[in-house]
Every structure is written in C-alpha cells, then in structure tokens.
Homo-oligomer: A and B are copies of this chain.
C-alpha cells in the first residue's frame, strides 16, 4: 500500500466532480486540495469503523467504498456505496466527531483524505466554499428524503425498477449486459434479500426487462418508468 502523497492534477479533476465541490472555482478548489492527501488502498481494507474518532473526511478519486452497519450476527448491512467523484463522512467534521458507520474499500481504490481541522479553517477563510457546501448538502438532503419516501411507498419490484433506471441515468450502466454491481449488493441497496431480487427481476419481464443469468436488458425504458409510477406516488423531485 502506497504512502500518502499530495494531490496532483488528476486528483483535482476527481475532486471537481464531487457534488460537494462541483461548483467551486479553481482558487477554491486549490484551497480544498491543500487540505488533502492521496493514498491508494487494497481491496477489503477497513478505512474506519463506526464509533472511531473522526478527524477527516474522504473523497473517492477512483474505485469505490462501501459504507455499512453490522448486524448482531456480524453480517454487513450495506448503507450505501460511494463511487468515483463522491465524498463521504463529512458529518465527522462537526458534532460528535465520530464516524456513524463502517467503511470498507472495494477493489483497488484511491482516496483523497481531507483533513478536518484544515478544511474547517479553509471554510472560515473562504465564504464561497461554505455556500457551495450548504447548497450540495441541501440537495443531498432532498435526495435522502425522497429515498425514504420511496422505501415507504413503493413495492420492492418498483424499487428495483427505479434502481435500474437510476443506473442508466447516472451512466453507470447502459441498459443491457451485466450489471455494474453484484446482485447481492443490488438487493441490499433496495432493501430486500438476494432471493427476492431474483424473483423481482423475473417479475419485471412484464415491464420489458429480460434477465438471463447476469445478463439483463431493459427493452423499454418508458414502460419501466410507468411500472415505477403505477400504484406509486407522484414524483417528489422536480
């Protein structure tokens, strides 16, 4: 595992993709970059555990990180997956100063570690930075509230359908071929068991989704979209 190193141009580019920093100008981006360091991790590395004291937050330059809680039996319960160009654990900056979940690095992953104390100082020195952070946190909050509503008001199959569509929309998947995630993780993401996912996926053929092994094809995006909404709620967002 490589040592920490300062950020280079490619890292800056990754940072600028993070929603948290997307709207920053070059000067502000530099200010953030100055508080960070880069390090590569091996697959399976435990970045931090729930309850650990937190003095930094992270952005993913390349790869992915799983945030998860633990069941009493010791199983992982996936909270979310952080992909390239996303930041996480910002909550550690304030408040209790402890990480609320566990974080495990997936594959070979390069992370940008942003020092909490230094970043807070940068926040003090740079008004715009705080503004953009507020903006993106509020947007994320709307997303989370939507997610909660979605879990309450939609059936597992509908949630699966929505998830497939969101994969396509975010360009993480093109609508045909193997999914970018293990099905286990997809199941965890939408809040069901792997067995239920198999059945839900097969039931989606009535919405134009063909599934053979790990090869999935969305034949009619509009039909799938309609399937999400039927019996469901009017779209909350936008």
Q: How extensive is the interface on chain A, given as a class?
A: 35 or more
Q: In the complex, which residues 21-77 of chain A have their Cβ closer than 8 Å to any Cβ of chain B?
A: 50-51, 69-72, 77
Whether B146 lies near A100 (C-beta < 8 A) is: yes
Given contacts A94-B134, A148-B148, contact A100 B236 (CB under 8 A): yes
Quick check: A91 and B191 within 8 Å, CB to CB?
no
Copies in the complex: 2
Q: Which residues of A90-138 have CB atoms within 8 Å of chain B's CB atoms?
A: 90-91, 93-96, 98, 100-101, 123-124, 127, 130-131, 133-135, 137-138
Contact A77 B149 (CB under 8 A): yes
CA distance A132 to B118 in the complex (A): 17
Distance from A112 Cβ to chain B, minimum over Cβ atoms (Å): 19
| Shortest Cβ distance from A90 into B: residue | B138
Distance between A190 CB and nearest chain B CB, rounded to angstroms: 8
- The answer to whether B138 touches A131 (Cβ under 8 A) is no
List B contacts of A69 (CB < 8 A). Answer: 149, 153, 233-234, 236
Q: How far is the CB of A45 from chain B (nearest CB, A)?
A: 21
Give Cα A233–Cα B79 distance, bound, in whole angstroms. 11
Shortest distance from the beta carbon of A39 to any chain B beta carbon, whole Å: 24
Q: Is A147 an interface residue (CB 8 A)?
A: yes
Quick check: B237 and A191 within 8 Å, CB to CB?
no
Is A184 an interface residue when CB atoms closer than 8 A count as contact? no
Q: Is A142 an interface residue (CB 8 A)?
A: yes
In the A-B complex, the 9 residue pairs with the smallest Cβ-Cβ separation, listed nearest first, are A152-B191, A94-B135, A144-B144, A91-B138, A151-B151, A130-B130, A137-B137, A91-B142, A69-B233
Please name 25 pairs of A and B residues whose Cβ atoms are closer than 8 Å in the assembled complex, sorted by A.
A51-B238, A69-B233, A71-B153, A71-B233, A72-B229, A72-B230, A72-B231, A72-B233, A72-B234, A77-B153, A93-B134, A93-B138, A94-B135, A95-B135, A95-B142, A100-B236, A123-B134, A127-B127, A137-B137, A141-B144, A148-B148, A151-B151, A151-B191, A152-B188, A152-B191
